[in-house]
Amino acid sequence: MSTNTAVAEREPARTGTAVAKQTEAESVRAALEKMKPQFAMALPKHLTPDRLLRVAMTAIQNTPKLLECDRTSLFSAIMTCAQLGLEPDGVLGQAYLVPFAGKVQFIPGYKGLISLARNSGDVVSIAAHEVCKNDHFVFAFGLDEKLEHVPARGDRGEIEYFYAIARFKDGGRHWDVMTRAEVEIVRNRSAGWQSAVKFNKQDRSPWSTDFAEMGKKTVIRRIAKYLPMSVQKAAALADSYDSGRHATLDGHGDIVIDTEAQEAAGADRQIPAAGSKLDRFEQQHGGETIDAETGEVTQSDPAPASAEPPKDWSKWGAAVTKAISGCQTEAELADVLERVNPHLAAYRDWNAKKADALLELITETQNEIRNGDDGRLV
């Protein structure tokens, strides 16, 4: 067989793979579009759902292996970005979406930790720096704390220390110092570095290409326990990844650690066209459904949600809660969310506490469907 013939035979396979990836990417984009009302409920004011969706899709296009991971973990990682208000672009260094044991792991960058601290309003300033051999550097702990650092001009030499310092709104401050050896111990324990060593790819690891940045992130994580809760949570997610455990934030904003992360059986879960729990819910109530305009339970046939908000949010919320609580598959939940998502942001404006509870229920239901757990707390 000639070389040209062999290439020609391989070309259709490559084309088919590219088309399949594009189809999967479009499927993810469509799902994220439906989740925009949920993102809007979780996002801080400086980040919009459209912006988050664009950044997330760029990250997926730049890292196609994300499409091979469990789809629920991908959506959970992006929701974690929304809850913390960090962009997973991998360029600004705020956050990253990383394939990990068949799932997608959210990992905050050191610039993301700094952004969380500054956005909290409790921290006036926060910074981390590397200290080189030729720099002037003096520090002391105890009753008479002291921290002085003057970078050398010209050749600064090898990195010897890292330090981070945070100044708080009330006038207080906290700082800490780590030696290079201490940072390297953290590096050697991290799952990412161990994987790089295993496959002889240390030169491509950020611990090799961006050692200074990784060291700064490490020392900021050291002082995270003294920083606002959002920073503590982001640092804990990074710690979980380093220890080889998949972790994410649930609807309560609490950290959920999956100690038995396994390879997903399939990259994409197809959603059946019919037989949803909402349909059965309607049948059990004599063909009842949620009226999109009034929020009341009526005898009308199921229909997509209207652009007009319900008139009675209390009845609407109760009906939606009942429908979501009865979902047992992703297809059923997707069918319910397709009808209620257009009204979630307005529902939050009506009652933020009830909207948060509904979002928590949605997240709990998603997690329980994924884990096959029928014991739902409602």
Task: Summarize pLDDT for 117-161 with one digit per residue, the tens.
Answer: 877 778 888 899 999 999 999 999 998 899 999 999 999 999 999
Tokens of 74: 């991908």
**Picking from 43-52, 141-150, 162-171, 363-372, which range would have the lowest pLDDT averaged per residue?**
363-372
Q: Where are the domains of the chain?
A: 20-106, 122-227, 277-371
**pLDDT greater at residue 138 or residue 323:** 138
Percent of the chain with pLDDT over 70: 68
The 3-class SS string of the chain reads: CCHHHHHHHHHHHHHHHHHHHHHHHHHHHHHHHHHHHHHHHHCCCCCCHHHHHHHHHHHHHHCHHHHHCCHHHHHHHHHHHHHHCCCCCCCCCCEEEEEECCEEEEEECHHHHHHHHHHCCCEEEEEEEEEECCCEEEEECCCCCEEEEECCCCCCCCEEEEEEEEEECCCCEEEEEEEHHHHHHHHHHCHHHHHHHHCCCHHHCHHHHCHHHHHHHHHHHHHHHHCCHHHHHHHHHHHHHHCCCEEEECCCCCEEEECCCCCCCCCCCCCCCCCCHHHHHHHHCCCCEECCCCCCEECCCCCCCCCCCCCCHHHHHHHHHHHHHCCCCHHHHHHHHHHHHHHHHHHHHHCHHHHHHHHHHHHHHHHHHHHCCCCCCC
Higher pLDDT, 132 or 322: 132
- Check whether 291 has a pLDDT greater than 60: no
Question: How confident is the model over 27-44, as a mean pLDDT?
Answer: 87
Give pLDDT, residue 239: 56
Who wins on pLDDT, 18 or 279? 18
Does the pLDDT at position 173 exceed 80? Answer: yes
Please tell me the predicted confidence (pLDDT) of residue 221.
84
Q: Count CA atoms within 13 Å of residue 64 on its CB side.
A: 8
List all residues 6 or more positions away from 339 whose beta carbon is below 8 Å from its beta carbon: 278, 290, 292, 302, 304, 305
* Contact between 88 and 96 (Cβ < 8 Å): yes
Indicate if the alpha-carbon torsion angle 130, 219, 199, 108 is positive or negative.
Answer: negative
| Whole-number pLDDT of residue 243 | 54
Cα angle at 119 between 114 and 125, to 5 degrees?
Answer: 55
341/36 Cα distance (integer angstroms):
8
164 - beta bridge partners? 128, 176
**Position 12 pLDDT exceeds 90:** no
More confident residue, 269 or 366: 366
HSE-CB of 273 using CA atoms within 13 angstroms: 0
Instruction: List phi, psi (to 5°) of 310.
Output: -60, 150
Burial of 152 (0-12, 13-18, 19+ CB in 10 A): middle
